[in-house]
Amino acid sequence: MLLILDGPDACGKSTLCRNFTKFALRYGYKVHTIHHTYVKPESKLFQVYMESLTTAEKWIAQGDIVLFDRFWPSELCYSQIYRNGTKLKGKFRVLDRWVQKLGGVYGWVNASSPDQAVKYHKEMHKTGRELYEPDERIKQVAEWFSKLNYESYAELYDEYDYIKYVGTDRQFYIVPREFGAAEIVDLLLTKLLDGRGSWERMCHFHNAVGNFIDPITLLVGDRYGEKHSYSRPFVNLKGSAGWLVDQFENHNFIEDDYCWTNANEANFEDVLRYAEKKVNKIVALGTEAAKKLNRIYTGDLEVAELPHPSYLKRFENGDFTSYLKALNL
């Protein structure tokens, strides 16, 4: 189980993390907390996030709960106010593919209003628990986080609607200073236990990312373009996988109904057997993936073959029309 708590400074994230850990222990769960403080250079953030997910997957495979204190939403919201935007936009969807696999839930921790967030920050600054002086930017950050849960997030970008891409059933709003700790923890644990059978199974397979709880389509690639400690299908950003991420981002592709695997990597048959019971369609991206599916798949699902992304990139001038049509977009 992966719980991501994110929101403005001084609104109760750290206190909620402590309360969650304390109450979860009473329920018999071991909790690991990873803090993503907002101090690392932007160029290092993606690697740090991927390494954290690698570690989280190992703990979840042991039956533990992993809690992230801040994650990519902080980079998204704070960068808009303090750095004129982020360079990691397309990478957010890659991170979320892995979060979905682990049954991840997002909790937006905020004050009841942006003005209240500024008030809390002033109080904590006086006691030395917040280092920098509150100003108008604190209110602006709180406004950004408020929009994450109110389906008005599309206003933040004309071309991006992240409320859909994260999925409304995997996120919720928390005002920890106005509710009891036990009440909030019960809500969090209930959310995390949804789809338990899926993430308990899939966290043991590196060759899988995406939604394995209630997917519609399984996308099957060939193999990793490069291998390192956090190699996962369609997660590495170099080569064809990176180009595909850019295309999905440019076409506002919503990924909540998709799961992903590679045909020529370990555990493919295990992932396929699990996914075929849940999806309505299998799509092979390239000839090699299609050949492997033809050899081993004997089920009744529709299997569509699309050109390998590298072919589109090199010979079709990046025309993405066939992918959009096949994926019913």
Strand order in the sheet with 171-174: 31-35, 65-69, 2-6, 105-109, 171-174
Tokens coding 7: 């929101």
CATH architecture of 2-197: 3-Layer(aba) Sandwich (3.40)
Count CA within 13 A, CB hemisphere, residue 295: 10
Q: CATH 3.40.470.10 in the chain, residues?
A: 207-326
Averaged pLDDT, 207-220: 91
Q: What is the DSSP letter of 209?
A: E
Closest CA to 76 of 2, 4, 20, 19: 4
Sequence letter at residue 71: F
Please report the pLDDT score of residue 47 as a whole number.
Answer: 87
Averaged pLDDT, 204-226: 87
Please report the pLDDT score of residue 152 as a whole number.
Answer: 41
d(Cα 279, Cα 257) in Å, to the nearest integer?
A: 9
CATH architecture of 207-326: 3-Layer(aba) Sandwich (3.40)
- Which strand (E) or helix (H) includes residue 65? strand 65-69
Please report the pLDDT score of residue 117 as a whole number.
Answer: 81
Please report the pLDDT score of residue 240 as a whole number.
Answer: 81
d(Cα 246, Cα 205) in Å, to the nearest integer?
A: 26
Tokens coding 266: 């370990």
Q: CATH 3.40.50.300 in the chain, residues?
A: 2-197
Q: Are strands 209-210 and 171-174 parallel, antiparallel or unpaired?
A: unpaired
Three-class SS state of 182 = helix
Residues 6 or more apart whose CB falls under 8 angstroms from that of 10 comprise: 117, 120, 121, 123, 124, 125, 129, 130, 138
Q: Of 3-12, 37-46, 157-166, 284-293, which one has max mean pLDDT?
A: 284-293
Averaged pLDDT, 229-237: 78
Note whether 114 and 146 are within 8 A (CB): yes
d(Cα 282, Cα 289) in Å, to the nearest integer?
A: 11
Other residues' Cβ atoms within 10 Å of the Cβ of residue 43? 9
Three-class SS state of 39 = coil
Tokens coding 313: 């990139």
What's this model's pTM, rounded to 2 decimal places? 0.87
Sequence letter at residue 37: T
Burial class (CB in 10 A: 0-12, 13-18, 19+), 141: buried
d(Cα 183, Cα 91) in Å, to the nearest integer?
A: 34
Residues 6 or more apart whose CB falls under 8 angstroms from that of 158 comprise: none
List, for residues 85-103, the tens digit of each pLDDT value. 888 877 888 898 999 999 8
List, for residues 301-323, the tens digit of each pLDDT value. 988 898 888 888 777 666 777 77
Note whether 138 and 146 are within 8 A (CB): no
The share of the chain scoring above pLDDT 90, in percent, equals 25
